[in-house]
């Protein structure tokens, strides 16, 4: 795993002058910068440092690193609508998609492969409603890009299969632990054609999100067969496969805030649908990530004031009486087999928001906090 003395930052914005070059394997010069944090003395490594490039990491539920541990895959506007890779040691950057991508970038852990969705277009360039799932051979791509002997795109890219229009596939995609198939979000109309265990829910909270039905499908990455996995009574979000347990998919009830029951899982054949952490009305769970074969890390927020009388009526009352430190909050780990919860800690005057675990089976937990300390921001600007 990567040393904890490294701080990897992917800066945000766009370099429009490069947008006309949409070439797989195109290389960009290193922007790697090493800075010593004046407060802690820790060495910080910035892998990108040019402003105006629209750079951002993959969502924390998904793997960021290639299987050889040398490259970080990230989203960028350096080439509009395409994804990039940056080498940790050299800072070299390479374009790793061509023709655009939709939603999640799925980096394999067992091979040098990248998977993503891409909208299918007709001869006039209009979207047909179908989604193709694309595989890129990163090992071959990086080698040929470095040698300056790039071949045609077909030597690196394979269309695994096409998801039919009627399935309404969204961009939320994740690899199964076997890396033999991928999960994806289904459209409401298609999901509603299958049995649903509970009454379909309406919206929840002031953002008017979360209404069902929702569902998950899967596609075989060898045969291209796409099929239904499960339909549920709510809006599905944050789909992720358990990297250490093939055949398990974890997902959430997405409301844009507090959910009645945030964390869920199901088997790849649609069986054993169940909640993971069975929260109360006082728990505001924001994010979740698989960190070991049996464990899920979650963030339980305590970001709202503790008030007298009617609890929390001073702040978006439609979310309910949740999100204060009157009850246990912070980083928590849930055993997905026993449902046992272990609180791991909280910070004074602030909250953890996004959480993730390292690739070494979670033995060294990485925690992403929304706020970056001002002294780091000031130091970077220098």
Q: Please give the model's pTM, rounded to 2 decimal places.
A: 0.87
Residue 19's SS3 state is coil
Low-confidence ranges of the chain (pLDDT < 50): 1-21, 312-315, 362-382
**DSSP letters along 203-228, please?**
-BTTTTB-EEEEEEEEEETTT--EEE
What pLDDT was estimated at residue 22?
Answer: 53
Paired sense of beta strands 33-36 and 263-267, if any: unpaired
What pLDDT was estimated at residue 2?
Answer: 44
How does pLDDT run across 247-292, given as a tens digit for each residue?
999 999 999 999 999 999 999 999 999 999 999 999 999 899 999 9
**DSSP letters along 44-107, please?**
EEES---SSS--EEPPTTS--B-TTS-EEEEE-BSSTT-EEEEETTT--EEE--SS--EEEEEE
The two structure tokens encoding residue 168: 């309404």
What pLDDT was estimated at residue 200?
Answer: 98
Report the distance separating Cα 30 and Cα 22, nearest Å. Answer: 19
């Amino acid at each position: 795993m990567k040393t904890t003395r490294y701080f990897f930052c992917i800066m945000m914005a766009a370099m429009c002058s490069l947008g006309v070059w949409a070439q797989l394997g195109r290389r960009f010069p290193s922007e790697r910068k090493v800075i010593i944090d004046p407060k802690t003395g820790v060495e910080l490594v910035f892998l990108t440092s040019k402003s105006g490039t629209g750079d951002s990491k993959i969502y924390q539920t998904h793997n960021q690193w290639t299987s050889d541990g040398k490259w970080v895959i990230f989203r960028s506007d350096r080439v509009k609508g395409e994804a990039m890779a940056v080498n940790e040691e050299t800072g070299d950057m390479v374009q790793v998609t061509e023709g655009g991508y939709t939603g999640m970038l799925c980096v394999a852990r067992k091979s040098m492969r990248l998977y993503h969705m891409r909208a299918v277009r007709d001869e006039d360039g209009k979207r047909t409603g179908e989604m193709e799932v694309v595989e890129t051979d990163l090992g071959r791509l990086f080698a040929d890009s470095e040698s300056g002997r790039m071949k045609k795109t077909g030597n690196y890219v394979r269309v695994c299969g096409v998801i039919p229009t009627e399935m309404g596939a969204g961009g939320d995609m994740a690899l199964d632990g076997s890396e033999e198939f991928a999960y994806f979000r289904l459209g409401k109309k298609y999901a509603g054609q299958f049995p649903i265990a509970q009454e379909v829910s309406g919206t929840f909270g002031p953002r008017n999100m979360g209404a069902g039905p929702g569902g998950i499908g899967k596609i075989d990455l060898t045969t291209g067969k796409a099929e239904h996995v499960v339909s549920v009574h709510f809006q599905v979000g944050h789909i992720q496969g358990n990297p250490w347990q093939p055949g398990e998919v974890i997902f959430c009830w997405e409301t844009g805030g507090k959910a009645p029951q945030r964390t869920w899982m199901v088997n790849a054949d649609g069986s054993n649908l169940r909640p993971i952490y069975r929260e109360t009305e006082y728990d505001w769970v924001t994010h979740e990530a698989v960190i070991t074969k049996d464990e899920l890390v979650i963030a339980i927020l305590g970001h709202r004031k503790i008030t007298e009388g009617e609890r929390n009526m001073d702040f978006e009352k439609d979310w309910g009486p949740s999100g204060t430190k009157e009850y246990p909050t912070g980083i928590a780990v849930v055993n997905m087999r026993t449902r046992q919860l272990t609180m791991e800690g909280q910070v004074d005057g602030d909250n953890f928001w996004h959480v993730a675990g390292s690739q070494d089976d979670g033995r060294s937990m990485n925690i992403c906090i929304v706020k970056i300390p001002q002294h780091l921001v000031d130091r970077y600007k220098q």
